[in-house]
A = this chain, B = another copy of it.
């Protein structure tokens, strides 16, 4: 453990995932009307336990005050700072199919500190075109371009069959984090993070729940 970690223990991944929820809720409030907000109110709005909210917020230096609560504006700034929404991470996307295309078109990522610069594909018919201002390059240019642009994040929206291949290519190009939209489990070396966006897992939870309900009804 480094000295830094002794003083600022790393927050849990669960807490980290909740921080954007807090931020989203706080930003939805009317800043002119509400100056101060408390953990019980946040907890109620987001269906969370109020102790959990306090603990989460305490883990970033949120400056809450006993009796008073948290200063709304200050809390928003703390969260944005912690989540790094100020300094943009740059990404490339590989696989400009149906899903890839809609991610390229989506402009909301920039609110979360990520910007997709370019796309890659093998399909001649999309290479050279622009989608939402983002140029599509042949996959042969991937390594060179990523290295030159110092890209950190690779988004994989190809089919399952080519996912690992694309992943390896991205790693060769020096990418540090992968956002995986395929249902394949990617093999990466230690230190590289893979975030899986797994539709099948979500659907499994949904449909199991439905099945249970229909059984109860019978």
Contact = CB atoms under 8 A, between A and B. Distances in A.
Given A98-B102, A102-B101, A108 B177 contact: no
Nearest to A155: B206
Q: Tell me what chain A mostly uses at the interface: helix, strand, loop, or mixed.
A: helix
A207 B90 CA distance: 10
A152 B217 CA distance: 14
Quickly give the copy total for this chain. Answer: 2
A200 interface: yes
A129 interface: no
A209 B177 contact: yes
A107 to B, nearest CB: 9
A112 B19 contact: no
Contacts of A99: 102, 106
Best-buried of A19, A153, A207 by chain B (most CB within 10 Å):
A207
